Amino acid sequence: MKRVSTLIALVAVWGVALEAVAAVPLAFEGQRLFASYCQLCHGTTGTGAGPLAEKMGITPADLTTTLRSRSDTILKKIITGQGRQTITGRDRHNLISEAMPEWKDVFNDHQVEALIAYLRFLSTSKHKLMGDPVVGNELYQQYCAVCHGEEGGGDGVMTKLMNIHPADHSNPNEMNELSNNQLVNIVRRGKGRYMPAWKDILSRDEIEALVSYIRLLGN
């Protein structure tokens, strides 16, 4: 009997885990990889002031400005090291110190794509992450997805039940219009007839984490 219930519990947990994996936005996954592998040298915001860079006496360029002119193909070559030597023309300019490791044996293609999505966020977003997006993801799935949808598309189950129309949180053009503070205030105080106020349920830190997660949904 015990074994059967353990099995059922396992299947249930597995089902939830699969769903969670499917809903993870690329830039969100990239942010986690960047935090573990890249910010040592490139710094938390990509500007190059990481603790290992200081230790090694190297000065990685400011990713928030250098990446704009680089294509995904070039970025992939830079990150993996595979084909770096074939980079020519304008893209060779300032390329590439030996101190940038070759990551080809560390990441699969999907992870490299996720890293690039996060680098794009770092170099294009007008707004910085203000809280921990990992915490934000959990809270979003728990409290917000029912209306805003698991991936923020504005298509949660309640939207049909109640005929309500939240914005598409995965559309960076729409979300970039709002500053971090404006987003925090909407979540704290609510908006219109159907967006509830969360200030008595969630802490300031939790709301900032949610806003950071919303920022990554669009990338």
Question: Which residues form the interface with ligand HEC (CB under 6 A)?
Answer: 37-38, 40-42, 52, 58, 60-61, 63, 66-67, 70, 75, 78-79, 94, 96-97, 99-101, 103, 115, 143-144, 146-148, 158, 164, 166-167, 183, 186-187, 191-192, 194-196, 198, 210
Q: Which is nearer to ligand HEC, 18 or 176 (CB)?
A: 176
Find the shortest distance in angstroms from Cβ 138 to ligand HEC: 11
Q: Which is nearer to ligand HEC, 6 or 71 (CB)?
A: 71
Find the shortest distance in angstroms from Cβ 17 to ligand HEC: 22
Name the DSSP class of 170.
T
Tell me the CA distances in angstroms from 217 to 34, 51, 91, 145, one per residue in order.
Answer: 16, 28, 29, 12
The distance between the two most distant Cα atoms of the chain, rounded to a whole number of Å, is 68
Cα–chain center distance at 77: 22
Q: Which is nearer to ligand HEC, 78 or 129 (CB)?
A: 78
- The three-class DSSP label of residue 191 is strand
Nearest position to ligand HEC, beta carbon: 192
Q: How far apart are CA 129 and CA 209, in angstroms?
A: 8
